[in-house]
Homo-oligomer: A and B are copies of this chain.
Amino acid sequence: MTATPTRRADAQRSIEAILEAAIRSLGRNPEASVSEIAKAAGVGRVTVYGHFPNRADLIEAAMTRAIADGHAGLEAVDLSGDPRDALARLIDSSWQLVNQSRSLLIAAQDVLPPRRIRELHAGPAERMERLVERGRDEGVFRTDLATAWLVAVLHSVMHGAADEIAAGRLTADEAAGHITATVLAAFTPPS
């Protein structure tokens, strides 16, 4: 017997509630347990495990959802004009998202390897890539290193900033300025 449309809709609503609860709970405490998340979603642990076989799967799905939501929100960032100014605006808005999700990011870093976290950022990375390409075409970003490398540098520096805040060596207020100052210098064509 296959699931009826109603059953599928119920399952979908249950998944939505669990993901929202996971983003909320892990956003407050990166060590939130599956039981806590289930409680926050108003479902039983068995229901959560029915959709997500283990805590890492649930965290990966929550991270995927948070990135997709953030990515959609970045549509509003003005990427026209001088590519350096556009990059500063994009870093600023992207950092707000990383910063809001810092606790969720720490939860993800605890259970997923960095390469997987990078893969989950394919959408945001693509947007960044297009802007970097335009900056290269216009001669304001360096072309002696590949675009993919420059985007990787930005990703590494941004997530490194989240670790520095966690370690108490950087404040959340300083971070966007530090990331922008570092990345713009790193992207400048060598003289």
Chain A interface residues toward B at CB < 8 A: 106, 109-110, 113-115, 118, 142, 144-146, 148-149, 152-153, 155-157, 159-161, 163-164, 166-167, 169-170, 178, 181-183, 185-188, 190
Knowing A152-B169, A156-B156, A157-B157 are in contact, say whether A182-B145 is a contact too (CB < 8 A). yes
B163 with A152: CB separation less than 8 A: yes
Number of copies: 2
Question: In the complex, A157→B156 CA distance in Å?
Answer: 6
Q: Closest residue of chain B to A158, judged by CB? A: B156
Chain B residue at minimal CB-CB distance from A183: B186
On whether the beta carbons of A166 and B110 are closer than 8 Å, the reply is: no
Do residues A113 and B106 form an inter-chain contact, with CB atoms below 8 A? yes
B152 in contact with A115 (CB, 8 Å): no
Taking the nearest CB of chain B, how far is it from the CB of A80, in angstroms?
Answer: 24
Given contacts A115-B163, A155-B160, A163-B114, contact A145 B181 (CB under 8 A): yes
With the chains together, A169 CA to B145 CA distance in Å? 12
- Which of chain B's residues have a CB closer than 8 A to the CB of A187? 185
